[in-house]
Amino acid sequence: MSEQTQFTIEQFYKYINQGKLMGGKCKKCGKIHLPPRPLCDKCFSKEFEWTEIPRKGKLLTYTIIHVAPTQFQQMAPYAVGIVQLENDLKIPGMIREVAPEKIKIGMPLTIAFETSTATSQWPQWPRYYFKPA
């Protein structure tokens, strides 16, 4: 089994490191899992293929985090939201590069990537976040 065929969080982050947001698409029912998971929660199939996730979406809901987990403390307050992507997939993520008071439900957002600069307690994995489109 090659690394490309493993539907793991590690592979998911490897793709992000390459600037790609990839989900696991169920070969049986077509449901896209992001992040990927080993078992489809809709039809219980274990057969997946990688599919690239659209970068654009709109904000469905959000929360401003004031008291953050240790590894994000220096970023607080920050916003975390659920974004509905162009293919209707809804994914959670941090919203950055916009002042919290300017965040609005329905605003267009696009996915961006960072190379990890976080503290040593946090795995040195790249992360995705949302920024205004």
**Which residues sit at the interface with Zn ion, rule CB under 5 A?**
26, 28-29, 31, 40, 42-43, 45
At residue 25's C-alpha, the angle toward residues 19 and 27, to 5°, is 145
Token reading at 32: 């896209």
Q: Which is nearer to Zn ion, 33 or 95 (CB)?
A: 33
Write down the least CB distance from residue 79 to Zn ion, Å.
32
Amino acid at 101: E
Q: Which is nearer to Zn ion, 43 or 60 (CB)?
A: 43
Spatial strand order of the sheet with 32-33 comes to 32-33, 22-26, 48-52
Write down the least CB distance from residue 25 to Zn ion, Å.
9
**Among 96, 92, 97, 104, which residue's Cα sits nearest to residue 79?**
96
Write down the least CB distance from residue 36 to Zn ion, Å.
12
Q: Which is nearer to Zn ion, 24 or 81 (CB)?
A: 24
